[in-house]
Amino acid sequence: MTAWHRHVLDPVHTVAPTASPYDTPARTDLVARVRAFAMDEVLPVANRLDAAHEDIPAEILDRMGELGLFGILIPEDEGGLGLGVLEYCLVSEELARAWLSVGSIIARGNGTGCDSPDPDTRARLRRLSAQGKRIGAIAFSEPDAGSDLANVACAAERDGAPDDPDAGWVVTGTKRWVGHARSADFIHLLARTRPPREDRGPSDGLELFLVEKERGSFPAGVTGTPIDKIGYFGLTTWQLDLDGLRLSADALQDTGEEEGQGFKHSLGWLNVARAQTAARAVGLSRGALEDALVYAQQRVQFGLPIAEQQAIRHLLADMAAEVAAARQLYQYAAWLVDSGAPANVETSQAKLFASEVAERVTSKALQVFGGNGYTTDYAVERYWRDARLTTIFEGTSEIQRRIIADGLLTEAPLS
């Protein structure tokens, strides 16, 4: 571990949010507690383990459970904090500032995989989720189905008479980009139960299944191959091959609708996911900017800190302005989601802008570091690598532009 990695733990939070129209004493206190955890406990671990491509250690996950971070969105009477999407995003920004994967893992809790039709079972699962004792993995994407999830080909067939509701399922296919799969307590799986009906569109016939499993292994019928990524370490990402995976009848998640509508049910989380991704992108941007501010004041060239160079000062100013703008966008989008208002366009705008800001800001920060930025001695290269991913996952920038344009053109008056 380099000297920089030892000293970077105490940056001045000059660009951390200090005032917002969404501030309340409770939110300010929550952010302060999570920021202290992220900087004092997560960042040192990230600086050590990311370079070794190792996963988030159990002690970090346990501490997150103690802090309630896996239960932000879970009601208080079910063991959670009973907070909203805005708080969820504020926490995600702080965690991602230290390590993107830690800012991401909370989405594998917070009630994910707890939609049992039985109220008692649902409450029990949510309590485990809130405590960080039930952390899942999401298996939606496939080699030929990423942005176009309606093209999912993974097939689930009845293990018995097709019209027997008590018959189990046999699942065959391939899933890709499944983060945390082997370490998870369950896998949330999107599979096709029948061909789509012509009058209902290509997403018809897709359902969500819950694959319960033991941590550290795959269930019978599933094999996994780690994907060799260039970043986003801390969460091993897998390609899963499903060959005769057998599931019980109740593995099919109850959507309260006609069978074959699971994909539509899953869309309800997209606005939350986009807002959270925007927050994670802001966290990465902030980490890069804060490190650049410290470095620019320490690095001396031509007898002066490079922070005295106008070119560097302008870079830092532009970076700070973009980070502040991206933060306002995601906070507004999250507030809209919490209020129950339509937010498809706003969450896509936040995700698009914040992720592309992250790519620009981390690149500029690396430029401030000069040749030192292009080494693994400094955390800025991690922010740079991870920021590139935010323009891709949870819907690419191109998909966000399509959603935004569709919303604008639908609402625009005819000439």
The Cα–Cα gap between 117 and 42 comes to: 36
With bands split at pLDDT 50, 70 and 90, how would you rate the model's confidence at 412? low
Say what the pLDDT of residue 413 is: 54
In contact, 389 and 234? CB cutoff 8 Å: no
Helix (H, G, I), strand (E, B) or coil at 113: coil
Query: Which of 54, 394, 398, 411 is flagged as catalytic?
Result: 394
Strand stretches in 213-303, DSSP E: 222-226, 237-247, 300-301
Write phi, then psi, for 393 (nearest 5 degrees).
-75, 160
Say what the pLDDT of residue 16 is: 57
DSSP bridge pairs for 290: none
Tokens of residue 302, six digits: 């031509």
The Cα–Cα gap between 380 and 215 comes to: 32
Nearest residue to 394 (alpha-carbon basis) of 154, 92, 126, 165: 92
Say what the pLDDT of residue 34 is: 97
**410 or 357, greater pLDDT:** 357
The predicted-structure confidence for 255-268, as pLDDT tens digits, reads as follows 666 676 777 776 77
CA 399: distance to chain centroid? 17
Write phi, then psi, for 211 (nearest 5 degrees).
-100, 100
Tokens of residue 130, six digits: 């809130």
Q: Could you tell me what percentage of the chain is helix, strand and coil, using 3-state DSSP and rounding each to the nearest 5?
A: 50, 15, 35
Active site residue 394: yes
Which residue carries 């060239």 as its tokens? Answer: 301
The Cα–Cα gap between 254 and 234 comes to: 32
The Cα–Cα gap between 402 and 405 comes to: 5
Query: Going by DSSP bridges, is the β-strand pair 136-139/186-192 parallel, antiparallel, or unpaired?
Result: parallel
The Cα–Cα gap between 278 and 292 comes to: 21
4 pLDDT more than 50? no
Say what the pLDDT of residue 233 is: 97
The predicted-structure confidence for 18-60, as pLDDT tens digits, reads as follows 577 888 999 999 999 999 999 999 999 999 999 999 999 999 9
Say what the pLDDT of residue 223 is: 97
The Cα–Cα gap between 180 and 269 comes to: 19
In contact, 302 and 243? CB cutoff 8 Å: no
Say what the pLDDT of residue 1 is: 38
CA 43: distance to chain centroid? 18
2 pLDDT more than 50? no
With bands split at pLDDT 50, 70 and 90, how would you rate the model's confidence at 17? low
Helix (H, G, I), strand (E, B) or coil at 29: helix
Nearest residue to 142 (alpha-carbon basis) of 108, 101, 171: 171
379 pLDDT more than 70? yes
The predicted-structure confidence for 60-90, as pLDDT tens digits, reads as follows 999 999 999 999 999 999 999 999 999 999 9
The predicted-structure confidence for 93-125, as pLDDT tens digits, reads as follows 999 999 999 999 999 999 999 987 788 988 999
Say what the pLDDT of residue 15 is: 60
What's the rounded mean pLDDT across residues 157-175? 88
The predicted-structure confidence for 347-368, as pLDDT tens digits, reads as follows 999 999 999 999 999 999 999 9
Whole-model pTM over 0.85:
yes
In contact, 369 and 292? CB cutoff 8 Å: yes
In contact, 198 and 262? CB cutoff 8 Å: no
Percentage, residues of the chain above pLDDT 90: 78
Say what the pLDDT of residue 118 is: 82
CA 92: distance to chain centroid? 8
Domains of the chain: residue spans and CATH: 25-131 (1.10.540.10), 136-254 (2.40.110.10), 264-411 (1.20.140.10)
Say what the pLDDT of residue 378 is: 95
With bands split at pLDDT 50, 70 and 90, how would you rate the model's confidence at 397? very high
